[in-house]
Amino acid sequence: MSITGIKGMNDILPRDIAAWQFLEQQARQIFHTYGYKEIRVPVVEKTELFCRSIGETTDIVEKEMYTFEDKGNNSITLRPEGTAPVMRSFIQHKLYNETDSSKLYYMGPMFRYERPQKGRYRQFHQIGAEAIGEDDPRIDAQVLAMLSHFFEAVGITSVSLQINSLGCSACRPGYRDTLIEFLTRHIEDLCDDCKRRYATNPLRVLDCKAAGCKEATAHAPSVLEHLCPGCEQHFSSLQQHLHALEVEFEINSRMVRGLDYYTKTTFEMVTTALGSQNAVAAGGRYDGLIQELGGPELPGIGFAMGVERLVLLLGEDKLRAEPPQLFIAALGERAQNDGFILLNRLQRQNVYAHMDFSGKSLKAQMRLANRLGSTFALVLGDNELDTGSARLKCMAEGTEQEVKLDALAPTIAAALDAGAA
C-alpha cells in the first residue's frame, strides 16, 4: 500500500511551479522598491503567541489551529498566520532599534484545520508585508498602493479593494455595546455559532456567512458612525491619500476581519471568481499588538495574500513553464560526445539547453524537442563538427539559420530578444 499526503495539504508540482515562482518573484521585486526586507520565521511557535494576538474567541484560535504537545510537554502550534510570529521576532530581536528593519515581508506555508475545498486548504501559503512604527494614514495608503501595484503587475484584474475602519480602544468599546444591544434584539435569527459568540465577539457576527445572520444584521449599526474624531480623521485622510495615489477602493462598513488585533484601517481584496472563497488578500492596522506581545508601544499595519487563490486567478500565460531554449540532436558517437561538451558550455552561458543520451533516432530526438516545446533545435553530426557551424532551426516557424558553434549562446540570446520585441 502506498502512502499518500495528508488531506488538505497539497504538493505543488513542477507543472504548476511557474505560477508560484512568478508570484514570488513579482512580490520580492515590488516590495523591495517600497523598502521592505524579507524576514523568515519558524513554522511553529508557542501556542500562547497565537491565543494572545489573534484572540481566544476567533475562529482561528477556537477551531482551526494545529496544536500539539512536543516531547517536553510544551504546547506548540503550526502557525495559522504570519503577523504574530513576525511581531514576536521583531520584539525578541529588538528590530525597532535598527534603522532599516521596520518594513518586513514574508512568504511561506500557514496551517489551519479547515474543511478543504477549492481555494481553502489545511496547508496554504501566504505572501505578506508589515509596516511597523508609523500611524500616519499615508502609510496605510502606501501599503494599499503597493498591494494594488502587485495585483496590476501580475495581471489579476478581477479584484476590488474594500476598506473599513474598526476604530480604536477609545471608540470600539462604545460601538461594541451598541452592537451587542442590537444583536440581543435579533438573537433568535442568528446561527448557533453567533448565538454563542455575539456577546464575546459581536463584530464577528457581521462577518458570518450564514444567510440568517446576514439578513438579521442588514440594518445593524455601522462602525463608521461610531468612530471617535481621531479615527474618523484617520479614515478620511486615508481616503484622500488613496485618491491622490489613484488607488480605487470601495467602503464596506461590514468588513470586520477574523482577527482581534485589528484597529482603525482594515481591508480586503475581494473577487467574485472564487465562490465563497472571495478574499484573496486581507489585512489591517494593529496599533496595540506589539505592546500586547510585550514590545514597545509601536503601531503597525500589514496584509497577507493567499497564494493558492492568486494562482487560481492568474492568466493562462503565467501558468506555463518556460521551455528549453535549445535542443541539441546528435547524430552518431562523435556528435554525442562533442555535443555533450557543447551542451555544458551553453548551460554555463545561461542557455537552457537540452539533449537526449538514450541513443534515439534523429526523428525521435526531434519529436522530443517538439514535445518539450524547445524554441530552437540544432542537428549536430560529423559534418557540423568538421566545419564548426550548423543550422539552427526555429521550431515554431520552421525557419533555419547558419550559426557558428562557438557563437551559439549570443546568437540564441539575440534571436530570443528579437522574438520578444
Q: Which helix (H) or strand (E) holds 303?
A: strand 300-306
Q: How far is 88 from 273, CA to CA, in rounded Å?
A: 35
Cβ of residue 298: shortest distance to ligand ATP, in angstroms? 22
Q: Inter-axis angle of helices 17-33 and 137-153, to 10 degrees?
A: 150
Is the Cβ of residue 305 or residue 377 nearer to ligand ATP in the bound state?
Answer: 305
Is the Cβ of residue 162 or residue 375 nearer to ligand ATP in the bound state?
Answer: 162
Cell numbers for 83: 503577523
- The reply on whether position 159 binds ligand ATP by CB under 6 A is no
Q: Are the C-beta atoms of 228 and 234 separated by less than 8 Å?
A: no
DSSP string, 96-137: GGSTT-SEEEEEEEEE-----BTTB-SEEEEEEEEEES---H
The one among 51, 206, 304, 403 contacting ligand ATP by CB under 6 A? 304
Cβ of residue 59: shortest distance to ligand ATP, in angstroms? 7
Is the Cβ of residue 135 or residue 308 nearer to ligand ATP in the bound state?
Answer: 308
- Give the footprint of ligand ATP on residues 222-261 (CB under 6 A): 258
- Give the footprint of ligand ATP on residues 60-99 (CB under 6 A): 81
Please, is 262 exposed, middle or buried when counting C-beta atoms within 10 Å of its C-beta (0-12, 13-18, 19+)?
buried
CA distances from 391 to 52, 79, 368, 379, 421 (A): 67, 55, 18, 7, 23
- The reply on whether position 279 binds ligand ATP by CB under 6 A is yes
Cβ of residue 311: shortest distance to ligand ATP, in angstroms? 10
| Per-residue mark of binding to ligand ATP, 98-137 (x: CB under 6 A) | --------------x-x----xxx--x-x-----------
Cβ of residue 37: shortest distance to ligand ATP, in angstroms? 21
Residue 417, CB half-sphere, CA atoms under 13 Å: how many?
A: 6
- The reply on whether position 354 binds ligand ATP by CB under 6 A is no
Cβ of residue 281: shortest distance to ligand ATP, in angstroms? 5
Is the Cβ of residue 279 or residue 369 nearer to ligand ATP in the bound state?
Answer: 279
Handedness of CA 55, 57, 58, 60 (dihedral sign): positive
Any idea how long the chain is?
A: 421
- The reply on whether position 284 binds ligand ATP by CB under 6 A is no
Stretch in the footprint of ligand ATP (CB under 6 A) among 163-171, 288-296, 303-311, 343-351: 303-311
Cβ of residue 187: shortest distance to ligand ATP, in angstroms? 24
Taking CB atoms, the residue at the shortest distance from ligand ATP is: 306
Q: How far is 159 from 313, CA to CA, in rounded Å?
A: 9
Cβ of residue 331: shortest distance to ligand ATP, in angstroms? 51
- The reply on whether position 309 binds ligand ATP by CB under 6 A is yes
- The reply on whether position 280 binds ligand ATP by CB under 6 A is yes
Through-space distance between the first and last CA atoms of the chain, rounded to whole angstroms: 53
Is the Cβ of residue 60 or residue 346 nearer to ligand ATP in the bound state?
Answer: 60
Residue 40 is classified by DSSP as -
Is the Cβ of residue 88 or residue 309 nearer to ligand ATP in the bound state?
Answer: 309
Contacts of 203 (CB under 8 A, 6+ apart): 166, 176, 179, 223, 256
Helix/strand/coil for 341: helix
Q: In the complex, which residues of this chain contact ligand ATP (CB under 6 A)? A: 81, 112, 114, 119-121, 124, 126, 258, 277, 279-282, 304, 306, 308-309
